[in-house]
Amino acid sequence: MRRLIRFLSVGAVLALAVAAPASGDVANTLHNLTPTGTGAVKNPGPVGLCTFCHTPHRAFQTRALWNRDLPTQIYTPYLSSTLIASVGQPTGSSRLCLSCHDGTVALGNVLHAPGQSIAPLPPLQGRVLLGTDLTDDHPVSFVFDDQLAASNGELVPPALLTGPVQLDRNNEVQCTSCHNPHEDRFPKFLVTDNRNAALCTTCHAKQGWAGSSHATSSATWNGSGTDPWPGSAFGNVAENGCLSCHDPHSAAEPERLLARTPNEEVCLACHNGNVATTDVDSELQKPEHHPIFETSGIHDPPENPLAMSRHAFCADCHNPHSVNNSTAQAPDPSGAQQNVRGLDLSGVPITPSTFAYEVCFKCHGVAEQVSPRVIRLDHVTNIRLETHPGNLSYHPVTAIGTNPGAITLIPPLSASSRIYCHDCHNTDEATSSSPSVPLGPHGSIHAPILEGSYPLVDFVSFDPAVYDLCFKCHDWNTLEDDAAFVHKKHLENADAPCAACHDPHGSRGSTHLINFLRFDAAGTEVVRPSISTGRLEFQDLGTGIGRCYLTCHGEDHCPREYDGPDKTFIGDCD
C-alpha cells in the first residue's frame, strides 16, 4: 500500500509539473515527438507523450522530473548598452528549454525511457535553434524586481505581473515567462496573444507608446518590395506592435534585438512608401541628405552628444516608441520629435528635448564643422552659437528676432514670429501635394538639404526663382522697392547672391544677419577688405541706413553708405 501511495505521489508531482490539462494540449503541438506529432521530427515507434521531457523515475535532480541532461555549455548572454539587468548564465526553466534548444544534444537523448524505443532524433534546426550564443535573444535568467523597474524607468512594477506572464523562482524572467511549452494556443507557444504588443507591454512600458503611431497605425504592406513582417500572423503596423522593429529570438541586429540589418533598414522597411504613406527612403537617395547610409551602425541610444562620433540615424531625430502625428508651433517639438535627446542653448545634453531646435543642436551645435561649405568673416559654423539669442542678429529659431522693423516678411509672418530649422532645411518637394512626400530634412536637391534654391557661389544671374528659399518668407517686391532698395542694386545689378552679405543662421557681430562671405562654395574669394582702408566691416546707422568697408566685385567701399529713405549711395572711392 505504501508503495502505491509513493507511486501516486510521484505521479501527482509529475502532473503538477506538466499541468493537468497540458498533456492533452501538448499532443497538438510541435513538442509532441511521438508518431502522432504534428512536426517533421518525431519518433517512429510508440513512445510516451511526456517522455522527451519528463520521467516519474530516475529523473535529473532538478525541477519538473526532468528526463534530460542539463546543458553544461558556457553561453554568451544578451548584452546591450541599454541593458540594466544583470544577465548571467541561464538558470531555472531556461536551462531546461536549452537542453533541446541550444542544439548541442539530440532530441532523442533522454535519461530514462523504460520499455520504449526512442530513435536517435537529430538536434533542432532552423529558427528554433538558439545555439549557445544568446546575444540575439531576449535576455533570460535575470531578477526582475522593483529596483530594476525603477532603474530602467520603462518597466512595469513586477507586482503587476498577475496574469499569464509570470516570473520564475527568485523573481527571475525565464523562457517560461513568455512561453508555455505545453500548449500553442497562441503562436510560438506564447503565454498570451501578442497582437498589438500585448505580451511585450505586459513588462515594457515605453514612454509615449500607447499614443504613438507605431502602436495605433492601421497601415498595411502594399505587397511591393520586401515583406516588412515575414512570417507574421498580423497584417498592420499596430497589430505587429513591437515586432515591426524587433525580433525576440535570432535577431538580425543583436543589440536591442532589431529585426533587420543594417539598422537603418529597420525603419526603411516600412518608410519606403510600401507601408507608411511617406517615402523617406527616396528622400535619402537625393544628392543632399542626412548621411544615414554613410554612418551606419554608429548610433547608440545612451550616447553623449558631446562625445559621440559624428553620424546620422533615424533615431537621432525620432523616438520610434513615442512618435505620433500631432502638430506644434515653433519652437515646440511636433509629434515627430517627441521624447528625443538634444542639446540645450548652453550646450548641455537634455533628455528629452524641450524645443525642436535642441534635437538639431545635438549634432549641429556641438563643434565647428570640419569641412564648411563656405568661409565667412566671423567664421563660426556651430549652429547653436550662430543662432544664439545673445547675438546681434539671428533667424528667429531660438528666440524672437532682433529686428522689430522686419517689413519684408510675408503675412502671417511678423517680427514676433518663430521658425523651425526645418522651415528652411526641408525636402525640395515641400510644396508638393503628394502624400508620399515626407516633410523634414531627410533629403533635397538643394544644398545643404534646403527646401528651395539658395546660391552659395558668387556671380548669380538674378531671377526670383533662384532665391525661392528666401522669398518663401521675404517679399521680393518690398525688398526691391522699399527702403531696403540696396537688395535690388546688389542682386539684380551686380549679380551678388544673398549669401554674400547675410549669414542665414545669425551674426554675432552685426545686425541684419550681416556676416560677409569671404570664400564661396567654389573656393572663390567674394568679399575682401577695402583696398583703401584695409577694413572689412558693416556699420548699422539706423533704419534703412548703413555703411560698408570692403571690396567686392572689384569695387572698393571705403566706406560706401546707403540711405534707404533717399535711395542714394555715397562714398565712392574714385
CB atoms within 10 A of CB 419: 17
Cell numbers for 567: 535711395
What's 31's DSSP letter? T
The whole-number pLDDT of residue 3 equals 40
The whole-number pLDDT of residue 343 equals 97
CB atoms within 10 A of CB 93: 23
The whole-number pLDDT of residue 567 equals 64
**If you average pLDDT over every residue of the chain, what do you get?**
90
% the chain with pLDDT above 90:
76
How far apart CA 533 and CA 361 sit, in angstroms, is 39
C-alpha to C-alpha distances, 552 to 361, 458, 508, 537, 548, nearest whole angstrom: 33, 10, 22, 12, 11
Cell numbers for 530: 577695402
Q: Between 62 and 259, where is the model more confident?
A: 259
C-alpha to C-alpha distances, 351 to 300, 304, 330, 346, 362, nearest whole angstrom: 14, 11, 19, 14, 11
The whole-number pLDDT of residue 572 equals 66
Cell numbers for 434: 503628394
Give yes or no for residue 315 having a pLDDT over 70. yes
What is the pLDDT averaged over residues 222-247?
95
The whole-number pLDDT of residue 574 equals 56
Segment 406-418, tens digit of pLDDT: 778 999 999 999 9
What is the pLDDT averaged over residues 377-386?
96
| Encoded amino acid at 486, one letter | V
Cβ atoms of 121 and 33 within 8 Å: the answer is: yes
Instruction: Classify the phi-psi angles of 110: left when phi > 0, otherwise alpha if psi is within -120 to 50, otherwise beta.
Output: beta
* Confidence band of 69 (pLDDT split at 50, 70, 90): confident
The whole-number pLDDT of residue 523 equals 94
What is the pLDDT averaged over residues 541-555?
89
Give yes or no for residue 11 having a pLDDT over 70. no
Residues sharing a CB contact under 8 Å with residue 371, sequence separation 6 or more, in sequence order: none
Q: pTM above the 0.85 mark?
A: yes
Segment 29-47, tens digit of pLDDT: 999 999 999 888 889 988 9
Give yes or no for residue 127 having a pLDDT over 80. yes
The helix or strand, by DSSP H or E, that contains position 98, with its residue range, turns out to be: helix 92-101
Torsion of CA 303, 307, 309, 313, to 10 degrees: 40
* Confidence band of 565 (pLDDT split at 50, 70, 90): low
Cβ atoms of 68 and 60 within 8 Å: the answer is: yes
The whole-number pLDDT of residue 551 equals 95
What is the pLDDT averaged over residues 251-260?
96
What is the pLDDT averaged over residues 513-537?
96
